[in-house]
Structure 1
Amino acid sequence: MNRKTGLTVAIMAMAVSAVSAGAGYAAGVAAAPQTGREPLFQNPQARVWKSVITPNTPLPFHRHEHPRALIALKGGTMKILEQDGTSEIHEWQSGKAYWLPANAPGTQHQDVNVGPEPIEVIVVELSKEH
């Protein structure tokens, strides 16, 4: 193989390698976020989880027996829909923390993202009243 052919083969090999790496990168790109909860930590004093709520894909109805702090990683407009049909709107700003009380006995609610982008929060729920 002459020098010119060797150089051409080396360049072609690098190009194939770059294309393969690009395909690997594309395959490794995280999928679009989905609504759900990811447990992060639990002990006798508190439970911590990350919630992602995508637009118009609410969390299932649930309740919180204990108060909690919410830290907005990616803020947005959240509608808290009660099972009885009443609702309230919360504007959560990225980087801000919020305090939420325990839910009233016998109630359940659903978190509905009414904004255009996914909302991501960390929730720290106390395990008992203090």
Structure 2
Amino acid sequence: MKKIASHAIVAVLVFAGTVAVMRSQQAGTHRLPQFENEDVKVWKSVVYSGAPLTMHRHDHPRVIIALKGGTMKIVEETGGSEEHAWETGHAYWLPANPPGTQHADVNAGKDPIEVMVVELEKEH
């Protein structure tokens, strides 16, 4: 009986640890892959205020669908920046990034911004 109880306690602790890790991942800026094939790559990004996405680039054009809108500041590695006001429920076109450039996505507001990104993998 003690052995069963100790296994149950271990299982509960492992489950609690897993839930804590999942919550910590949900609480910070992150990307969640949704779908990918040879034509498109789709992911959901959640960007929290004060927690920008790291420097990256997009070799292909993409559509952004604002699930929860806000103002996203796109900061180029050269120091330049531009702001995009994304309204909830609207879609926006973003071209591929120029060769050799990178940028970071910074939430310029207080509330999290959630977007679905559909990146076209082929140039037509």
TM (norm. structure 1) is 0.75
Aligned residue number for residue 28 of structure 2: 34
Residue 61 of structure 1, aligned match among 37, 43, 55: 55
Larger Rg: 1
| SS of match in other structure, 1:125 | strand
Distance 1:33 1:49 in 2: 17
- State the 4+ residue runs in structure 1 displaced beyond 3 angstroms: 30-33
Measured after TM superposition, the shift of residue 33 of structure 1 is 3.2
Aligned residue number for residue 75 of structure 1: 69
Correspondences of 1:86-97 after superposition (within 5 Å):
86-97=80-91
Residue 117 of structure 1, aligned match among 98, 111, 120: 111
Distance 2:114 2:28 in 1: 10
Measured after TM superposition, the shift of residue 128 of structure 1 is 1.3
Distance 1:62 1:114 in 2: 18
| SS of match in other structure, 1:112 | strand
Residue deviations 1:46-101 (CA, integer Å, cap 9, x gap): 00000000001100000000000000000001100000000001100000000000
The number of equivalent residue pairs is 103
CA contact (8 A) 1:33 1:118 kept: no
Residue deviations 1:84-124 (CA, integer Å, cap 9, x gap): 00000110000000000000000000000010100000000
Q: Provide structure 1 residue ranges, at least 5 long, that are not aligned to the other structure.
A: 1-26
Q: Provide structure 2 residue ranges, at least 5 long, that are not aligned to the other structure.
A: 1-18
TM (norm. structure 2) is 0.79
Distance 2:94 2:34 in 1: 19
| SS of match in other structure, 2:116 | strand
Q: Percent identity?
A: 61
Distance 2:27 2:114 in 1: 9
